């Protein structure tokens, strides 16, 4: 199922999922070279910590998996404090070129050589225990595109455990994933 909706509206619907994978519309402290937000087809958050804290406090799931760049890992973890979710682990996506070469350098806040998937678990839930690597080496695509093979394997593994899932993202529609997909609405 593919739905185009605002993430707040979706959360307020109270729909239950065992896991939710989210790629938030982060606002970065841009320094040159920077990405002009008018190039994006979706709205950016005004306050990363406030928005993530709202998600951690109100989302209806057992496991929350959140994509983030290196520069905002602390903001993501900080926003989970005093919520029902506990940080459990991190998966590192090492980005490669289309020719299979590693990207090098620290980059700026949104064009890193790596990105992270932070895994959070709600209080009193059993651990996920997935037989997967926590380092992923895959090509990087256009902005907002995450590692396709890894995400498909992750979602398939979660589905094989009988978990019902959802992916909240901003950007391009994802057809090959076997879960509900919520696309954060485009700007009007």
Residue pLDDT, tens place only, 68-80: 988 889 999 999 9
Q: What is the pLDDT of residue 161?
A: 93
Confidence of residue 48 (pLDDT cuts 50, 70, 90): confident
Q: Indicate the pLDDT class of residue 40, thresholds 50, 70 and 90.
A: low
Q: Omega of the bond prior to 33 within 30 degrees of 0, cis? A: yes
Strand partners, 72: none
- Residue 187 has what pLDDT? 39
Q: For residue 29, what pLDDT band results from cuts at 50, 70 and 90?
A: low
Query: Which percentage of the chain shows pLDDT scores above 70?
Result: 76
Res 186: pLDDT? 44
DSSP letters spanning 150-185: HHHHHHHHHHHTT--EEEEESSS---S-SSEEEEEP
Stretch 154-173: mean pLDDT: 85
Model confidence pLDDT, tens digit, residues 87-108:
999 999 998 888 888 877 665 5
Say what the pLDDT of residue 103 is: 78
Lowest-pLDDT range of 1-10, 16-25, 29-38, 130-139: 29-38
Say how far apart CA 166 and CA 187 lie, in whole Å. Answer: 22
Residue 7, pLDDT above cutoff 80: no
* Strand residue runs (E) in the chain: 2-5, 19-22, 63-69, 85-96, 114-122, 135-139, 165-169, 180-184
pLDDT for the residue numbered 32: 45
d(CA 79, CA 83): 8
């Amino acid at each position: 199922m593919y739905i185009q909706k605002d993430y707040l509206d979706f959360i307020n619907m109270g729909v239950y999922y065992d896991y939710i994978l989210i790629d938030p519309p982060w606002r970065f402290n841009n320094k040159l070279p920077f990405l002009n937000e008018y190039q994006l087809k979706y709205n950016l958050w005004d306050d990363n910590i406030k928005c993530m804290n709202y998600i951690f406090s109100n989302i209806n799931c057992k496991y929350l998996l959140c994509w983030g760049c290196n520069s905002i890992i602390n903001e993501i973890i900080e926003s989970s404090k005093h919520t029902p979710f506990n940080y459990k682990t991190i998966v590192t996506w090492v980005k490669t070129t289309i020719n299979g070469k590693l990207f090098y350098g620290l980059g700026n806040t949104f064009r890193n050589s790596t990105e992270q998937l932070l895994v959070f678990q709600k209080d009193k839930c059993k651990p996920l225990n997935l037989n997967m690597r926590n380092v992923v080496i895959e090509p990087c695509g256009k902005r907002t595109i995450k590692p396709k093979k890894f995400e498909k394997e992750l979602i398939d593994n979660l589905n094989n455990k009988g978990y019902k899932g959802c992916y909240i993202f901003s950007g391009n529609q994802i057809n090959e994933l076997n879960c509900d997909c919520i696309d954060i609405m485009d700007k009007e």
